[in-house]
C-alpha cells in the first residue's frame, strides 16, 4: 500500500505554514474526516532567514535537513515546503531523503498554465527568490517570458510587505503588494505569481478582487500538487 501521509516542512514563516494547512484541508475533495489527507507538520521558525543567507547570513540548510529527516522518521511519504525561498536548497534536501519533495515552482507552473498558458507573466517574491532566479529560469524553460519588479521596487514595496505579514500586521501589507501587481500588469504581465507564501496573506488582507490582473497563489498551487500526489484518482 502506498504511503500517502504528507510531510510539511514549515515555519518559514509560521503563519504561511498554518495557512497552507488550512488551504490543503479546504481544497481536498472530502466529505468526512477520514477522506482528508494524513499530514505531519514540522514547523520550525528558528530556520535562519533564507534571503539573508544569500548575502552572508547564517546557513538555513542544517535546520532544513533536520526537518526533512524528522518528517522521514515520522513516516511521511512525500514532503511539501510552503516557502518559496527555501527551494534554493531543494537539491540538497532532495539528495538527503528518498522521499519525493514536491517543487513549488513546478506546482505553480501547473496552476499558471490554466490561466496564462503562454506569454508574459510577472513574479513577485523575496529578494532572495528573485536573485536565485527560481521562477525566471524554470518558467522560462517552460516557455513563458518572465518579468519581475526591479531591485528598488522589491526593496521599497515587496520586502516591507512581507515583513509586515511575518509580524502579523497583514493590513499594512496589502497596498504595496497590490501596487506591485499593478506595476507588473502595466508592463505586460498576463498573470502575476505570488512567489512568496506570505504574499497571498497580505493580498487577502485588502480588496484583492480590485486587482486587474489574475494572481497565482503559490500556497494554493502547492496544496493542489499535494492533493494530486495524495489522491491520484481524485
The whole-number pLDDT of residue 127 equals 95
Q: Measure the CA–CA gap between 195 and 198, rounded to whole angstroms.
A: 9
Q: Measure the CA–CA gap between 179 and 136, rounded to whole angstroms.
A: 21
Residues 6+ apart with CB under 8 A from 223: 20, 23, 24, 27, 80
Q: Measure the CA–CA gap between 17 and 83, rounded to whole angstroms.
A: 8
Q: What is the DSSP string of 163-189?
A: HHHHTT-HHHHHHHHHHHHHHHHHTT-
Q: Measure the CA–CA gap between 44 and 18, rounded to whole angstroms.
A: 12
Which residue is it, cell 506569454? 119
- Pairing label, strands 145-147, 215-217: unpaired
Global pTM exceeds 0.75: yes
Q: Measure the CA–CA gap between 112 and 143, rounded to whole angstroms.
A: 12
- Pairing label, strands 78-80, 6-10: parallel
The whole-number pLDDT of residue 234 equals 59
- Pairing label, strands 120-124, 192-194: parallel
Name the DSSP letter for residue 101.
B
For residues 119-149, one letter each, b for 16 or more C-beta atoms within 10 angstroms of the residue's C-beta and e for the rest, the string is ebbbbbbbbbbbbbebbbebbeeeebebbbb
Per residue of the chain (234 residues), give pLDDT as tens: 578 999 999 999 999 999 999 999 999 999 999 999 999 999 999 999 999 998 899 999 999 999 999 999 999 999 999 999 999 999 999 999 999 999 999 999 999 999 999 999 999 999 999 999 999 999 999 999 999 999 999 999 999 999 999 999 999 999 999 999 999 999 999 999 999 999 999 999 999 999 999 999 999 999 999 999 999 975
Q: Measure the CA–CA gap between 99 and 112, rounded to whole angstroms.
A: 26
What are the cell numbers at 155? Answer: 526593496
Q: For the chain, which domains are there?
A: 6-103+221-230 (3.40.50.1860), 105-218 (3.40.50.1860)
214 by Cβ neighbours in 10 Å (0-12 / 13-18 / 19+) ranks as middle
Amino acid at each position: 500500500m502506498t504511503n500517502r501521509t504528507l510531510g510539511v516542512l514549515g515555519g518559514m514563516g509560521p503563519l504561511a505554514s498554518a495557512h497552507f494547512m488550512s488551504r490543503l484541508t479546504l481544497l481536498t475533495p472530502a466529505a468526512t474526516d477520514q477522506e482528508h489527507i494524513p499530514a505531519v507538520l514540522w514547523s520550525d521558525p528558528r530556520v535562519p532567514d533564507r534571503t539573508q543567507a544569500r548575502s552572508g547570513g547564517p546557513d538555513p540548510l542544517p535546520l532544513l535537513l533536520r526537518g526533512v529527516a524528522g518528517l522521514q522518521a515520522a513516516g511521511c511519504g512525500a514532503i511539501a515546503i510552503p516557502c518559496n525561498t527555501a527551494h534554493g536548497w531543494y537539491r540538497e534536501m532532495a539528495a538527503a531523503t528518498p522521499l519525493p519533495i514536491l517543487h513549488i515552482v513546478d506546482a505553480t507552473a501547473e496552476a499558471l498554465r490554466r490561466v496564462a498558458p503562454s506569454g508574459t507573466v510577472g513574479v513577485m517574491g523575496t529578494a532572495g527568490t528573485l536573485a536565485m532566479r527560481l521562477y525566471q529560469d524554470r518558467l522560462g524553460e517552460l516557455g513563458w517570458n518572465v518579468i519581475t519588479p526591479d531591485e528598488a521596487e522589491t526593496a521599497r514595496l515587496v520586502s516591507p510587505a512581507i515583513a509586515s505579514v511575518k509580524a502579523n500586521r497583514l493590513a499594512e501589507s496589502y497596498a504595496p503588494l497590490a501596487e506591485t501587481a499593478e506595476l507588473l500588469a502595466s508592463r505586460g504581465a498576463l498573470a502575476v505569481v505570488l512567489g512568496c507564501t506570505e504574499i497571498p496573506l497580505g493580498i487577502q488582507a485588502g480588496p484583492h478582487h480590485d486587482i486587474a490582473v489574475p494572481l497565482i497563489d503559490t500556497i494554493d498551487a502547492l496544496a493542489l500538487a499535494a492533493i494530486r500526489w495524495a489522491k491520484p484518482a481524485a
